[in-house]
Amino acid sequence: MEPAVEPAPVGAQAAKQAKEGSKNRSRRRWRKGKIKASAFSHSMDLRTMTQSLVTLAEDNMAFFSSQGPGETARRLSNVFAGVREQALGLEPTLGQLLSVAHHFDLDTETPANGYRSLVHTARCCLAHLLHKSRYVASNRKSIFFRASHNLAELEAYLAALTQLRAMAYYAQRLLTINRPGVLFFEGDEGLTADFLQEYVTLHKGCFYGRCLGFQFTPAIRPFLQTLSIGLVSFGEHYKRNETGLSVTASSLFTGGRFAIDPELRGAEFERIIQNLDVHFWKAFWNITEIEVLSSLANMASTTVRVSRLLSLPPEAFEMPFTSDPRLTVTISPPLAHTGPGPVLARLISYDLREGQDSKVLNSLAKPEGPRLELRPRPHQAPRSRALVVHIHGGGFVAQTSKSHEPYLKNWAQELGVPIFSIDYSLAPEAPFPRALEECFFAYCWAVKHCDLLGSTGERICLAGDSAGGNLCITVSLRAAAYGVRVPDGIMAAYPVTTLQSSASPSRLLSLMDPLLPLSVLSKCVSAYSGTEAEDHVDSDQKALGVMGLVQRDTSLFLRDLRLGASSWLNSFLELSGHKPQKTTSPTAESVRPAESMRRSVSEAALAQPEGLLGTDTLKKLTIKDLSNSEPSDSPEMSQSMETLGPSTPSDVNFFLRPGNSQEEAEAKDEVRPMDGVPRVRAAFPEGFHPRRSSQGVLHMPLYSAPIVKNPFMSPLLAPDSMLKTLPPVHLVACALDPMLDDSVMFARRLRDLGQPVTLKVVEDLPHGFLSLAALCRETRQATEFCVQRIRLILTPPAAPLN
């Protein structure tokens, strides 16, 4: 007789399973509802969205005000009151910016500029608050309603909305001062410095905590969060002066407290971007150069048959003139700053082509360690008719072709042509014009020896991103100045076309951009221009770089993994909070207790700020007042790079145009400071006070050295005669990139000159999307736009019909 089987428990266990199932379904509905609500909100017009948000805020405010004297209820009531106030104050300004934004577009088919981007970013923040307000209104009476969690998120986004309102007022000020159609600030150097000095004092930490990357496509946000955790952890080790691989390995594991505390992470992120020097960013951006990480990236990328690092000898050679091939010009090796030296470049080819395994090329190959070839060695393919010469980005201070190798391998497969990627010397050790000289030398070498690279050279494209896009344009300008062959076209992805510290609507976004903060941009420009102030730091700290990281052996790496994991566990269990930070200049907030570091970012924003700047009324500035400035006393720019070097700041107009000296003098007199008040300010309305940074004085050069106005450094400032020598230019920019206005204004200048130019602007992606090509569908599509533009350049023009 079989034993009786007891019935399965259906009481507490069933109830628990039902509860878990309900929670999971609720989370799924929340995620789906958030996406649908965001899409619905973005389809609203600005006024309807604002009215809906204000109505919900008032309803929630009334509800929580009636819930008794509890602290959480009081703060929820206050935060909805703040949302209502900021939304009502922001809507008219955004409406004004949107009403005139079309005047700054390249054309009707390319509706993109910094004003549109700023309005879009503010709409994203409003949409998130609208969705969150609806969620609170629907669930505030539920027993599962997490009041503290929703409060923290609402406070964070309220702080972001407050700062966005300040940025909108700055954009409004630019709109008032600048000439119609001009995106960059046109005032003299003093006005620019006043504007930037006021702007950089704004608080930034709220954009790097809970709100990190809210303006980008959702698929990007987890990457940005991981990046920010790694950055602040890396910054802690850098601050302690730990060098070599121990910094990198440990920093992969010590982000526990930053991962669980968004407010702490945001405050530390702001401290890092505001205080650490260019050597820190050089070290952090070069993490991808470590053999372990680069090997992992290459394993996930396309397998190619050729990927060789070449060392081009510093030997002069002759190039024929395009106007008369019987005559030649000598191409000298790079000389600036460090004297003659080899130039490194990487050859990437999906197929092994004729010439790529020649004795001459083998003699130039630089050993990089063993490389595993996964497929049988094929027969040589014929030489390609085309060649892509690539110049990588990295702010002129970091990265090499190795960092960009994953997407270059994909390009080599999709385009079916060899890719020659140049590894130029980096600032601050090799400032301008060293990188330009090396890129020009390597470009000419590739044109002359394209048969060794597996190409006949019938079509040549110059392609680059960010700083590399700038160098692509300036290399073409220099090739035209020398009279040698210019490329058949340029593909520049999100390039920087002016290195002046001049404000524009899109550059206002650098206040909140996690990849291109304003202070970091300034430090990179100072390093490249050779005007970087000497930081008296330990030489070991400056030595932190890719070479020191790569040279560590395996045993040290494994040891650091163990120590890093132990450190992460200790920091995770640590209950004492964040240690006080030391600053170079003592301030009232230089030392904080742990409790204040862990409070909500927005809690402080809701309080009355201290030490605000005066609110005296300013003299109204008109377009006529600032349309002209004092003419430059500097001599005419020479096209020879060797004759230009770092110098002191001077007043030089942003746009090269004639002006009446008497009118300029009168205009300058009209905008002089009065009673110590800065000459340019956002003119905030009475009662509005954005949050100011608590990280002390930002040491950032606010004046541009005259060298950055050199057209070979800032091609946007080049005279018409130089720009007319450029080949067709294809620009691919990001709508939310602080460098967007660089592309828009450069495209407008070229089009006004009748030069062939295209501009494609991708939505919802950050600067540097090429390096994120494998991350999501949106980055892959944007990368495909770049490939399409290159393919267009490499396609021979159709023969005319008889």
Active site residues: 466, 737, 767
Nearest to 746 by CA among 767, 732, 766: 732
List of residues 6+ apart from 795 with CB closer than 8 A: 459
Write out 745-765 in H/E/C secondary structure: HHHHHHHHCCCCEEEEEECCC
Nearest to 249 by CA among 566, 551, 561, 565: 561
Q: What pairs with residue 455 in β-bridges?
A: 384
Helix (H) or strand (E) holding 559, with range, is: helix 554-573
Please tell me the distance from the alpha carbon of residue 746 to that of residue 280, in angstroms, as a whole number.
Answer: 31
Helices (H), 140-188: 147-177
Q: What pairs with residue 389 in β-bridges?
A: 420, 462
- Measured N-to-C along each axis, helices 147-177 and 262-275 cross at an angle, to the nearest 10 degrees, of 30
Q: Report which DSSP code applies to 773.
A: T
Six token digits for residue 153: 């998120």
> b or e along 542-551 (b: 16 or more beta carbons within 10 Å of the residue's beta carbon)?
bebbbebbbe
Neighbours of 477 (CB within 10 A): 22
Q: Going by DSSP bridges, is the β-strand pair 306-312/343-349 parallel, antiparallel, or unpaired?
A: antiparallel
CA dihedral sign of residues 360, 362, 368, 374: positive
CB 78 within 8 A of CB 70: no
Give me the phi and psi of 220, to 5 degrees please: -85, -25
CA distance from start to end of the chain: 101
Six token digits for residue 80: 């909805």
Write out 623-679 in H/E/C secondary structure: HHHHCCCCCCCCCCCCCCHHHCCCCCCCCCCCCCCCCCHHHHHHHHHHCCCECCECC
Nearest to 303 by CA among 372, 244, 386, 356: 372
> How many residues comprise the chain?
802
Six token digits for residue 4: 């009786």
Please tell me the distance from the alpha carbon of residue 237 to that of residue 293, in angstroms, as a whole number.
Answer: 19
Q: Report which DSSP code applies to 383.
A: P
Q: In what order do the strands lie in the sheet with 365-366?
A: 365-366, 306-312, 343-349, 419-423, 384-391, 455-465, 489-493, 729-734, 757-762
- DSSP assignment string, 404-451: THHHHHHHHHHH-S-EEEEE---TTTS-TTHHHHHHHHHHHHHHHTGG
Please tell me the distance from the alpha carbon of residue 665 to that of residue 330, in angstroms, as a whole number.
Answer: 46
CB 88 within 8 A of CB 67: no
Cis peptide before 370 (omega within 30 of 0): no
- Of all residues in the chain, what percent are helix, strand and coil, respectively (each to 5)? 50, 10, 40
Where are the strands (E) in 486-532, listed by range? 489-493
Six token digits for residue 454: 């597996």
List of residues 6+ apart from 518 with CB closer than 8 A: 199, 200, 507, 510, 511, 700, 738
Cis peptide before 334 (omega within 30 of 0): no
Q: Report which DSSP code applies to 622.
A: -
CA dist 142 to 23, 138, 139, Å?
13, 9, 5
Please tell me the distance from the alpha carbon of residue 368 to that of residue 606, in angstroms, as a whole number.
Answer: 56
Helix (H) or strand (E) holding 467, with range, is: helix 467-482
